[in-house]
Amino acid sequence: MDNHWRIGVPRFKTMLFRLVPEETTRIALLRRGEVDVADVSRERVAELEKEGFPVHFRKEEAILSMYWVLPRDGQPTADKRVREAMNLAVDRAEIAQAIFAGKAEPAFIPLGLSWSFRDIGFKVSPEMVYPYDPARAKKLLADAGFPSGFSLELYAFQLPGLPEGKAFAEAMSGYWQKIGIKTKIVPLDYPGFRKLWVDRKVPGAVGYYNIANRDWIGAYALLEKMAYTPSKANDTVADPEIDGMIAQVMRQTDREKINALMRNIFTRLRSEHYGVPVVYLHSPYATSKTLGKWNPGSVMYDLFFDQLASGK
Amino acid sequence: MIRFVLSRVLQSLVALAILSVVVFVLARATGDPLHLILPMSASEEDYAYARRYLGLDRPYVEQYFSFVGKAVMGDFGTSLRARRPVSELIRERLPNSLRLALFAMCVSLSFAFPLGVLAAVKKGTWIDRTAQVIAVLGQSLPTFWVAIVLVEFVAGRLQWLPAGGIAGFASHILPGFTVGWVVLAGMMRLLRSGMLEVLDSEYVKLARVKGVVERRVVWLHALKNALIPVVTFAGIYFAILVTTAIVVETVFAWPGLGRLAYEGISSRDFPVIQAVVLTTAVIVAVVNLGVDLLYAVIDPRIRHAR
């Protein structure tokens, strides 16, 4: 249209979305000027920036969070000290730098969708930050009755937006091997792992997902699936206290009370170590040199293309 | 000849029937497609509803006969992922694959014939050695590597040609060359060895003794008899190019049948997988029949024997 009440006269007449699976081809199209925006992998950002292509990041677009397949009964991870040890054994800063080319930030709250934190007033306190402490991790394992470690299956797969999936799994395996956990990497595509997870065929095994970040309502919907016992198949937490808090959120209409409940849920997920949060991933989008200013924003699945087209 | 054609058609129908069972079973053995269609937070109730909606809750035998009954009428069901009729997707994609395959075959034939014949006629010279190097490279370099190198350097860095998609004649060149390169190498080698054998035969020597011009000896008398293995190779590869150029179609974002197959397999889209496999089988059967008929045209001995 000629003049929109919100964005004025659009800078572009048409917007075409092209499905181009191969990254090399997307970058070639960008270089040729055939596309204006291309999503690229983190490892090619430096090369494109050197050529003068602006690269915009959706900061913390996803949290790469690991979780155990339930049930926990009879598994080493039934002991909170083991779960804490597996978190302390991981050097998150090193992973962010080495695996994700510095385009990631350490994460410390299991299932902690940070875009929701600002909505509910949640802050990650210094005590919540996991240090990298393999010595303390080994001691915790010994205290829990595993001085020689134990065996663990880690399912490794790529995911959309996570081409580094298998390299990441190998790195995590390395950290856990160092504290005595004999990690066996099982390469399997995600649908194959998902079936094992929801059918609870491999209790105690570890999987992961790059969960898209979102606001508090989206975060609640995710917790209601992945941290809530009545959701059965998808639950990864099995904690009656968290179940109670999630059920209360459902019935609550007072926003302040909802915020307080949500903060308590995240606090308990962290204090009980219900998962291994690793990093928040920044997603790069390279643009043509003539495109101009663009803020890709921080709203789930919305890249603010309307702002890009804005004439105001 | 008619009996021959009819018997080949009947054989193909039996093969298609067996293939339909195999692809039906194997597609379902790869796992539940709903894990890919539904979000990770989907509940058991969501799964049950989706299964009912997509007809995946019916017994396998019922699903199979429903699929076959509709497939013979050209209805391959609805894509689980795209939510569109599969026959529509195939109608959109197949012409693109045919175009690419035809372009690649034209390029290959244009170069393979003169190079293969010259390599045989000028055996031991630099022409022959160059042709052999091209043949070795063509058959040893992986297609995906060639595709990515061409995209990166020819399209991206030098910007001589388009990088992907279908947009005019120029967009056919890089993908066409990538798939045609393998065919060119194979055809050239077959033609060279076939020509070397034929050029040494008695009737060719007789033609020379009779004073026939060398050009006619090579291009008319010898070439025709060296063609049979080349025709077989070209036929097989044409069917392969049309139906399974998955890597090239993915790298060049070419919306063809191979890429449709890849998308179907990645998302466990059973109706798409089944339809693509059956379409592939039909194309292979038709091409093989065409090749057999071409033999009869090229070689009268085959025509009379049938």
pLDDT digits (tens, 9 = 90+) for A161-198: 898 999 999 999 999 999 999 999 999 988 889 889 98
Angle of the B270-298 helix axis to the B223-244 helix axis, nearest 10: 170
Residues written for chain A: 312
Mean pLDDT of B237-253: 85
Angle of the B170-199 helix axis to the B86-121 helix axis, nearest 10: 40
pLDDT string in tens for chain A (312-residue length): 677 787 788 888 888 999 898 999 999 999 999 999 999 999 899 999 999 999 999 999 999 999 999 999 999 999 999 999 999 999 999 999 999 999 999 999 999 999 999 999 999 999 999 999 999 999 999 999 999 999 999 999 988 889 899 999 999 999 999 999 999 999 998 888 988 998 899 999 999 999 999 999 999 999 998 999 988 788 999 999 999 999 999 899 999 999 999 999 999 999 999 999 999 999 999 999 988 888 888 887 788 887 777 766
* Cα dihedral value B55, B58, B62, B66, nearest 10: 0
Q: Are B233 and B225 in contact (CB under 8 A)?
A: no
Per CB-CB distance under 8 Å, the chain B contacts of A32 are 155-156, 159, 162-163
Q: What is the DSSP string of B118-137?
A: HHHHTTTSHHHHHHHHHHHH
Per CB-CB distance under 8 Å, the chain B contacts of A192 are 31
CA–CA distance, A197 with A210 (Å, rounded to integer): 16
> Letter for the amino acid at B88?
E
Give the mutation candidate from B43, B143, B171, B178 for the A interface (greatest A CB count, under 10 A).
B43
**Predicted TM-score of the model (pTM):** 0.80
Give the one of A18, A31, A226 whose C-beta lies nearest to B159's C-beta: A31
A71: preceding bond cis by omega (within 30 degrees): yes
Place of tokens 């690649």: B104
* Cβ separation B164–A28 shorter than 8 A: yes
* Cα dihedral value B175, B179, B182, B187, nearest 10: -110
Q: What is the DSSP string of A78-115?
A: GSHHHHHHHHHT--HHHHHHHTSTT-EEE--STT--HH
DSSP for residue A225: H
Residues written for chain B: 306
> Helix (H) and strand (E) counts for chain A?
12, 7
* Cβ separation B165–A191 shorter than 8 A: no
Per CB-CB distance under 8 Å, the chain A contacts of B148 are 22, 24
Give CA separation, A90 vs A54, A136, A166, A174, B191, in Å. 33, 12, 16, 9, 61
Q: Are A37 and A43 in contact (CB under 8 A)?
A: no
CA–CA distance, B76 with A165 (Å, rounded to integer): 35
Task: Report which secondary-structure segment, H or E, holds A186.
Answer: strand A182-187
Interface contact A123, partner B, CB < 8 A: no
Place of tokens 């005595």: A180
Q: What is the DSSP string of B57-78?
A: TS-HHHHHHHHHHHHTTT---B
Interface contact B69, partner A, CB < 8 A: no
Interface contact B42, partner A, CB < 8 A: yes
* Cβ separation A22–B253 shorter than 8 A: yes
Place of tokens 């199209």: A29
- What residues contact residue B291 under an 8 Å CB cut-off, 6+ apart? B231, B232, B234, B235, B236
Place of tokens 């860095």: B157
The reported pLDDT for the residue numbered B280 is 86
Per CB-CB distance under 8 Å, the chain B contacts of A22 are 148, 151, 164, 250-253
What digits encode the pLDDT tens for the residues B255-295? 999 889 888 887 788 889 888 888 888 888 888 888 877 77
The reported pLDDT for the residue numbered A58 is 92
Comparing A138-142, B10-14, B137-141, which segment has the lowest mean pLDDT?
Answer: B10-14
* Cβ separation A194–B35 shorter than 8 A: yes
- What residues contact residue A305 under an 8 Å CB cut-off, 6+ apart? A15
* Cβ separation B35–A32 shorter than 8 A: no
Q: Are B178 and B100 in contact (CB under 8 A)?
A: no
* Other CB atoms within 10 Å distance of the CB of residue B6: 10
Interface contact B43, partner A, CB < 8 A: yes
Task: Report which secondary-structure segment, H or E, holds B166.
Answer: none
Q: B221 pLDDT exceeds 80?
A: no
Chain A: closest CA distance from residue B130 (Å): 31
- Taking the alpha carbons at both ends of chain B, their separation in whole angstroms is 6
* Cβ separation B164–A191 shorter than 8 A: no
DSSP for residue A209: E
Task: Report which secondary-structure segment, H or E, holds A228.
Answer: none
Residue of B nearest to A21 (CA): B250
Give the mutation candidate from A24, A30, A236, A301 for the B interface (greatest B CB count, under 10 A).
A24
Residue B83 C-alpha from the chain's centroid: 27
What's the mean pLDDT when you consider all of chain B? Answer: 84
Chain B: closest CA distance from residue A224 (Å): 9
Sign of CA dihedral B44, B50, B56, B58: positive
Q: Which one has a higher pLDDT value, B51 or A93? A: A93
Place of tokens 């915020």: A259
Q: The tokens of B248 are what?
A: 């090239």
Q: B301 pLDDT exceeds 70?
A: no
* Cβ separation A194–B157 shorter than 8 A: no
Q: B65 pLDDT exceeds 90?
A: no
The reported pLDDT for the residue numbered A102 is 93
Question: Taking Cα atoms as reference points, which of A47, A51, A56 lies closest to residue A101?
Answer: A47
Residue of B nearest to A234 (CA): B41
Q: Give alpha helix (H) positions in chain B.
A: 2-29, 34-37, 44-54, 60-71, 86-121, 126-140, 143-149, 170-199, 202-209, 214-216, 223-244, 246-251, 257-266, 270-298, 300-305
Q: The tokens of A224 are what?
A: 């209601």
Interface contact B159, partner A, CB < 8 A: yes
Place of tokens 């926990």: A72
